[in-house]
Amino acid sequence: MDLRFTDEEKAFRQEVRSFMRSEIPAEIRRKLADGQEIEREELVRCQRILNAQGWAVPRWPVEWGGQPWTPIQQYIFLEELQTNSVPQPLQFNCDMVGPVIARFGSDEQKRRFLPRAANLDDWWCQGFSEPGAGSDLASLRCRAVRDGDHYIVSGQKTWTTLAQHADWIFTLVRTDPAAKKQEGISFLLIDMKSPGVVVRPIITVDGRHEVNEVFFDDVKVPVANLVGEENKGWDYAKFLLGHERTGIARIGITKQRLARVKRIAKATPAGEGTVWDSPAFRARAALAEVELKALEITQMRIVSQTAPGGANNAMASMLKIKGSELQQTATELLMEAAGPHGIVFMDRLAENGSNDPLAELEWASLATQNYFNTRKVTIFGGSNEIQRNIIAKSLLGL
């Protein structure tokens, strides 16, 4: 197939690039490019700029804010978003719960939730994983018992990303304990302000508060908040994860990081030269770029051959595996470029500010933090070991 972009696609890329660079605040893009945390208000601001342009949820149905773009245009848009260090619209809203509600939700749920999700008026989080039910998600035990017009929800979720900011959580709950594991699960929308919902922080190895535990103590949830049919939640979860894994390769982000690796390595002293003068380092960086180009071509092939709605599970799993590994490789190279300077911790820099003699090495401390944080990408969205099982079963018949 011909993987060259048409003149129309090149013009579309330029339109998107120009908008990103002129309308998204430069200071926010710079923070993201440097590996700093984006504040809640900054993400909301950027998503609302995109939504006003009609670009916050381009993969949704047109009647709910999507765009009639081709798969290649969708690909170009995501790549420009990432390579220009624009905060990606909140994935829980735009790539997870939004598509599920648009596809399986009632008309009332669509009217109530979709516009607010697109504009980030409601911040959503994902309630899937539990203690003992991560990769084996079908073993979840969080229960929802029907009581008239409500469900009574009891149980726990863990590794709930950004739950400290969330207004709503979409959850998988067990509604039929007598059924087979996958057949007794439902997809339920829960207001985080409901009595009985408790959020407790988990501080990760990089020192950040990104994930949480969420507890449900007899939480009353209206039956109207059930998406689709009772006990069909596993089907909706598979649909959601297909959307998540297709975009989880994050090729644009890895491109930006590898370019930054080269810039920093060429400027960082090492011995009588720079880090970039090491043939071994250059060889590893070159191999990462070659593998990234191969992944990019693979993703373009999949995108061009995929019907609307996302790649099938095996294709999405391939992108997820290699994309997450390359994300880790890029952060490994950046930390290697930092060398011993990477032991400078941000709390010291925050305390002493520009008076600290090591303040110019803030990037090195961020490199270490991002290295630790990126260890998770081969786990979330379904661990890479599980993705290999999906590929073996779907494509190899094993």
Asked whether 333 and 326 are in contact (CB, 8 A), the reply is no
Residues 311 and 350: beta-carbon distance below 8 Å = no
With beta carbons less than 8 A apart as the criterion, state whether 279 and 265 touch. no
Dig out the tokens for 161 from the structure. 């990303």
List all residues 6 or more positions away from 106 whose beta carbon is below 8 Å from its beta carbon.
224
Q: Which two tokens stand for residue 175?
A: 């509604």
Q: Which residues contact 290 (CB under 8 A, 6 or more apart)?
A: none
Q: How far apart are CA 240 and CA 235, in angstroms?
A: 9
Q: What gap in Å lies between CA 395 and CA 363, rounded to an integer?
A: 42
Give the integer Cα–Cα distance in Å for 288 and 301.
20
- 99 with 59: CB under 8 angstroms? yes
**Which residue, 275, 308, 152, 310, is CA-closest to 216?**
152
Per residue in 36-60, is it b (16+ CB within 10 Å) or e — as a string? beeeeebbbbbbbbbbeeebbbbbb
Question: How far is it, in rounded angstroms, from Cα 367 to Cα 36?
Answer: 10
Distance of CA 14 to the CA centre of its chain: 25
Told to judge if 244 belongs to the known catalytic residues of this protein, a careful annotator would answer yes
The active-site residue out of 79, 80, 130, 244 is 244
Q: Give the bridge partners for 125, in sequence order.
A: 169
Q: Which residues are catalytic?
A: 244
